[in-house]
């Protein structure tokens, strides 16, 4: 085998390898000896069919493919060693031609990261303020969430809940047939057809009514769109919407530790402020990372984005499966989006994640941010606060080397972002302490 061409693009080394006929023949013979032992060839005992007969029986290409696969690992290793390349992942392989046997291997190289002057980044945080109107809206939403319906003896009005029997058909073909259906009478509701709620307004319990409505252009059954439908409705019961009063009793019903409306307002304001502050923090950090990317220069192999993209897709599919009602529902949701669409959707996020991760590593090195065993132990104890009876079991889980490594990386990222945040806000410089091995053992 010899390297006949070499080039570097996008932090990838492209090596074109050409195999000598003798080494191809040697690999073909070894593949034959392996395959003949497990292949039933008519007219021959297992392991006794001549190579020419086996090639004719299974196809020479199948034997060649096995031979090529057997040659590639060592050939790639030799070529990478010969050219003194330091790969960060396994190389990809592309077959070029058969005579002579030629392949191209693509070797991912270590990223090149030129960190921008992050010390000069300044970003003004957005102030967080909760308006009284927002608290009032939240209170009203709480009341609306606890609406009840009480039976009344009067005609149907807007916002009532009508219990109805309904029959609907087009040219004798049934569209709807339901009894005891709960129907919220909303003036802008176009179901089951535009104008249906208006036909109910003014009707009384026990009353029946027949009417004709035109189905919409976008009706779910396309062959019925824009046709006239015959409706027959009977009102079984009318229920009036009752919104609870905003008083201390209402406040007490929401939480055991809330006694008054004022306490409820205070709780709502606190929760809203916490949520707003968290959103402001995330927005600030996103701006910070975007600025850091703009100021820096990065070049990394596509395989890093591919790996991150696969992780994102895997997480999405797991979430999809968790939200599905059953396997059939999961399959329908899965069929609604193609794999290529998912890749296209997640590629920008994956690229940004790789960029941010590489830059944070560089900042951590520049700021000498290190995480020791004591920091990891403290974080594990924090994670175990609500573990209950499973505390020891979970402690063992967190303490395995792989999970301790994850926690170390997480804390390093957290402390690095915190340091960048201090710089961007113009805070007094306070470098994170670098732990020595001696201090760590204590």
β-strands 12-18, 2-9 pairing: antiparallel
Can you give the pLDDT at residue 335?
A: 86
The predicted model scores a pTM of: 0.76
Report which of 286, 161, 295 is spatially closest to residue 235, judged by C-alpha positions.
161
Helices (H), 107-255: 132-145, 196-200, 248-254
How much is the pLDDT for 432? Answer: 43
pLDDT band at 333 (very low <50, low <70, confident <90, very high): confident
Average pLDDT over residues 378-398: 92
Percent of the chain with pLDDT over 70: 97
Distances (CA, A) of 20 to 1, 17, 109: 6, 10, 27
13 pLDDT exceeds 60?
A: yes
Whether the predicted pLDDT of 137 surpasses 90: yes
What pLDDT does 334 receive? Answer: 87
Please tell me the CATH code under which domain 2-110 is placed: 3.30.70.1050
Residue 86 DSSP code: -
23, containing H or E segment: helix 21-36
Q: Averaged over 338-358, what is the pLDDT?
A: 96
Report yes or no: 79 and 27 within 8 Å, Cβ to Cβ: no
The residues of the chain that CATH labels 3.30.70.1050 are 2-110
- The pLDDT of 140-162, averaged and rounded, is 95
Q: If you compute the radius of gyration of the chain from its CA atoms, what whole number of angstroms results?
A: 35
Place of tokens 């805070």: 427
- Identify the weakest region by mean pLDDT among 251-255, 282-286, 322-326: 322-326
> Residue 70: is its pLDDT beyond 60?
yes
Predicted confidence (pLDDT) at residue 437 exceeds the cutoff of 70 = no
Query: Among candidates 181, 177, 175, 165, which has minimal Cα distance to 228?
Result: 175
State residue 429's pLDDT score: 52
Q: Is the pLDDT of residue 434 over 70?
A: no
pLDDT, tens only, 90-128:
999 999 999 999 999 999 999 999 999 999 999 999 999
> For residue 43, what are its two tokens?
């007219």
Confidence of residue 438 (pLDDT cuts 50, 70, 90): very low
What CATH code would you report for 148-242?
3.10.50.40
Provide the terminal-to-terminal Cα distance of the chain, rounded to the nearest Å: 55
- Spatial separation of the C-alpha atoms in residues 107 and 93, rounded to whole Å: 9
Ordered DSSP codes for 6-63: EEEETTEEEEEEE--HHHHHHHHHHHHHHHHTT---TTS-TT-S-HHHHHHHH-HHHH
What stretch of H or E contains 330? helix 327-335
Smallest CA-to-CA distance from 107 within 128, 122, 92 is with 92
- pLDDT above 50 (res 174): yes
User: Are 79 and 71 spatial neighbours (Cβ–Cβ below 8 Å)?
Assistant: no
Length of the chain equals 442
DSSP assigned state of 390 = G
Check residue 428 and give its pLDDT.
54
DSSP state of 301: -
Is residue 430 scored above 60 in pLDDT? no
- Note the pLDDT of residue 440: 45
Instruction: Give CATH 3.10.50.40 domain extents, the chain.
Output: 148-242
Encode pLDDT of 190-240 as tens digits.
Answer: 999 999 999 999 999 999 999 999 999 988 888 889 999 999 999 999 999
Asked if 345 contacts 98 with a C-beta cutoff of 8 angstroms, the reply is no
- pLDDT, residue 439, reads 43
Name the pairing type of β-strands 173-184 and 161-170.
Answer: antiparallel
**What is the structure's pLDDT at 427?**
74
């Amino acid at each position: 085998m010899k390297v006949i061409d070499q080039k570097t693009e996008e932090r990838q080394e492209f090596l074109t390898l050409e195999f000598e006929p003798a080494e191809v023949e040697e690999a073909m013979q070894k593949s034959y000896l392996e395959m003949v032992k497990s292949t039933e060839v008519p007219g021959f005992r297992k392991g006794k069919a001549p190579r020419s007969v086996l090639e004719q029986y299974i196809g020479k290409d199948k034997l060649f493919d096995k031979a090529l696969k057997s040659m590639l690992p060592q050939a790639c290793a030799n070529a990478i060693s010969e050219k003194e390349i330091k790969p960060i992942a396994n190389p990809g392989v592309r077959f070029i031609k058969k005579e002579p046997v030629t392949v191209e291997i693509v070797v991912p190289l270590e990223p090149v990261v030129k960190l921008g002057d992050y010390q000069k980044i300044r970003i003004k945080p957005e102030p967080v303020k909760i308006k009284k109107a927002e608290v009032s809206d939240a209170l009203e939403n709480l009341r609306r969430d606890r609406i009840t319906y009480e039976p009344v003896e009067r005609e149907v009005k807007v916002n009532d809940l009508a219990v109805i029997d309904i029959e609907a058909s087009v040219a004798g073909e049934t569209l709807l047939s339901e009894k005891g259906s709960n129907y919220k009478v909303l003036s802008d509701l176009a179901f089951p057809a535009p104008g249906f709620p208006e036909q109910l307004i003014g009707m009384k319990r026990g009353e029946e009514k027949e009417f004709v409505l035109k189905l919409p252009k976008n009706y779910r059954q396309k062959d019925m769109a824009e046709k006239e439908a015959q409706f027959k409705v009977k009102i079984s019961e009318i229920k009036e919407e009752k919104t609870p009063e905003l008083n201390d009793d209402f406040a007490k019903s929401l939480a055991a530790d809330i006694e008054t409306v004022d306490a409820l307002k205070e709780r709502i304001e606190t929760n809203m402020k916490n949520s707003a502050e968290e959103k402001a923090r995330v927005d600030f950090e996103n701006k910070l990372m975007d600025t850091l990317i703009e100021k820096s220069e990065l070049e990394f192999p596509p395989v890093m984005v591919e790996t991150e993209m696969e992780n994102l897709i895997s997480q999405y599919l797991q979430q999809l499966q968790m939200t599905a009602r059953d396997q059939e529902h999961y399959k329908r949701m899965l069929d609604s989006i193609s794999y290529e669409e998912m890749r296209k959707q997640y590629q920008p996020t994956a690229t940004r994640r790789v960029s941010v991760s590489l830059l944070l590593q560089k900042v951590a090195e520049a700021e000498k941010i290190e995480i020791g065993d004591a920091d990891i132990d403290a974080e594990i104890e924090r994670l175990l606060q609500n573990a209950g009876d499973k505390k020891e079991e979970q402690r063992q889980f967190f303490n395995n080397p792989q999970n301790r490594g994850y926690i170390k990386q997480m804390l390093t990222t957290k402390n690095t972002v915190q340091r960048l945040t201090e710089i961007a806000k113009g805070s007094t410089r306070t470098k994170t302490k670098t732990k020595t091995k001696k201090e760590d053992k204590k």
